[in-house]
Amino acid sequence: MEITKSILNDLSYQLTGAAIEVHKILGPGLLESIYHQCLKHELTLRGINFISEMIIPVNYKDMALMSNLRCDLLIENCLVVELKAVETILPVHEAQLMTYMKLMKAPRGILLNFNVANLFHEGRKTYVNEFFTYLKEK
C-alpha cells in the first residue's frame, strides 16, 4: 500500500480516537506503561497494524550502530507515536520524536501525553517532516 497524505490523515484520526477512548476510561495520573498497554489493545480492537517498542536503526557513515532507542508505536510503517504521562511536554520530548521520525523515514509523528485533563486539546501534538512533503495527496 502506497502511503498518501489522505491515508496518513485517516491513520492519525483513528489513532487519536483510540487514544481518546483509553484516556476517557482511565483518565490522567497513571504510568506511561499502562496507557501503552491499553492503547495497543485499542488499536488491535480497531484492526490497526502497529509495531510496539520497535528498536530504531541508527546508521552513521555506513556503520550500523547498536542502540537502545525504541519507538513506542510505529503504525502502518509510517506514523511514529511517542507516549508520555508527564506534567509538561519538554522540548527534548519533541526532539526525540522528530529524530525517531527522521531515522525511520516516517513522514508523521504524534506525541501523546496522557497526564492531561483533555487529551484532544492538551495532550496531542502532531509533527511532520521532509518525508511528508513528498507524499501524494490521495
Domain chopping of the chain, boundaries: 5-132
Q: What is the pLDDT of residue 27?
A: 97
Q: How far apart are CA 133 and CA 68, in angstroms?
A: 29
The predicted model scores a pTM of 0.94
59 by DSSP, 3-state: which? Answer: strand
Q: What is the mean pLDDT of the chain?
A: 96
Mean pLDDT, residues 97-125 taken together: 96
